[in-house]
Every structure is written in structure tokens, then in C-alpha cells.
């Protein structure tokens, strides 16, 4: 399993359109592996575009899913 840190330093994207209504709107769930993907980090977006990929091992305190669920629950 690949670690997020193995993909190099964060690659910040450029926002198109207005700001999201909440922090949770920065995330989507990958239809292939079910992991929450932070749209602000292009490493994650590019990884999850690969056909048949596995979930990324997270280096931080929380997994993507835990962070996305926490953010979603705070904005509900």
C-alpha cells in the first residue's frame, strides 16, 4: 500500500469558482476504493484517478474517512 508521503510534498491546486460552503465540500469519496479524497491536494486526486488503485495509507493522525466524517458532522 502506498503512503501519502511516498507521493512527494503536497501539490496545491488552483480553485475554480467560489469558495465551498463548508470544509466538508473539499472532500469526495472515491468510487473505486471508498476513501475520502481531499480535492485541495492534487497528489490525492491523481492517485484516485488510477484504475484499480488501492486506498492510500495516511501519514497523519486521522484517515481520510475519519477526517471527512468529522468535518461533515461539524457542518451538519
CB contact at 8 A, 67 and 56: no
CB contact at 8 A, 58 and 1: no
Q: What is the pLDDT of residue 66?
A: 66
The model's pTM is: 0.71
Q: What is the pLDDT of residue 30?
A: 94
Q: Report the half-sphere exposure of 73 (CA within 13 A, side-chain side).
A: 6
The number of residues in the chain equals: 76
Q: What is the mean pLDDT of each run of 10 residues along the chain (76 residues)?
A: 85 81 87 90 94 87 63 61
Helix ranges (H only) for 1-76 are 42-48, 64-74
Q: Look at residue 41 and give its three-state secondary structure.
A: strand
Q: What is the pLDDT of residue 49?
A: 96
Amino acid at each position: 500500500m502506498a503512503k501519502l508521503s511516498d507521493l512527494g510534498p503536497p501539490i496545491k491546486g488552483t480553485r475554480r469558482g467560489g469558495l465551498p460552503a463548508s470544509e466538508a465540500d473539499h472532500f469526495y469519496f472515491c468510487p473505486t476504493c471508498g476513501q475520502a479524497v481531499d480535492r485541495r491536494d492534487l497528489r490525492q486526486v491523481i492517485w484516485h484517478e488510477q484504475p484499480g488503485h488501492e486506498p492510500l495509507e495516511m501519514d497523519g493522525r486521522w484517515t481520510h474517512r475519519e477526517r471527512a466524517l468529522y468535518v461533515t458532522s461539524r457542518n451538519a
